[in-house]
């Protein structure tokens, strides 16, 4: 079964330059969010543009097998959580922006893999940080 023409013209997350474009699109969405943006800019106090190469290297490791990224992401998020308690909603929003950015600009095997990995990452972060979903 072939993809619709509009889907088939979208690149996959199969090259470093595609991953870089994805990271830009993802953070363009995320940094407009009034709740999530301050976690990056104020609480973590990172210059997101300077941080992009690390994020790109992380996804190149996960999707392309590149070995450049060697940091431990869980420790980084534990430090952030210690500064300001993260919530299940933070991870849900992060995942929503991730999937939206992936679906809007990319298609293919690696794009689907990235969405699956992001879903697992969000769940693992919540579990490791012992973040419970609020029950209504």
User: Which pair of tokens denotes residue 120?
Assistant: 């697992």
Planar angle of CA 90, 18, 50, nearest 5 degrees: 60
> Distance between CA atoms of 1 and 18, rounded to whole angstroms?
24
DSSP designation for 35:
T
Is 72 annotated in a binding site? The answer is: no
Give how far the C-alpha of residue 91 lies from the chain's centroid of Cα atoms, to the nearest Å: 10
Q: How many CB atoms lie within 10 A of CB 98?
A: 21
**In residues, how long is the chain?**
136
Between 109-128 and 73-83, two packed helices, what is the crossing angle to 10 degrees? Answer: 50
Name the binding residues for heme: 77
Name the binding residues: 77
């Amino acid at each position: 079964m072939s993809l619709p023409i509009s889907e088939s013209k979208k690149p996959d997350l199969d090259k470093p330059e595609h991953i870089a474009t994805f990271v830009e699109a993802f953070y363009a969405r995320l940094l407009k969010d009034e709740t999530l943006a301050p976690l990056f800019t104020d609480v973590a106090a990172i210059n997101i543009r300077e941080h992009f190469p690390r994020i790109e290297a992380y996804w190149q490791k996960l999707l392309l097998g590149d070995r450049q990224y060697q940091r431990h992401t869980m420790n980084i998020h534990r430090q952030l959580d210690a500064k300001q308690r993260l919530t299940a909603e933070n991870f849900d929003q992060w995942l929503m922006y991730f999937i939206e950015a992936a679906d809007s600009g990319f298609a293919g095997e690696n794009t689907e893999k990235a969405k699956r990995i992001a879903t697992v990452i969000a769940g693992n972060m919540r579990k490791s940080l012992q973040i419970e979903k609020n029950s209504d």
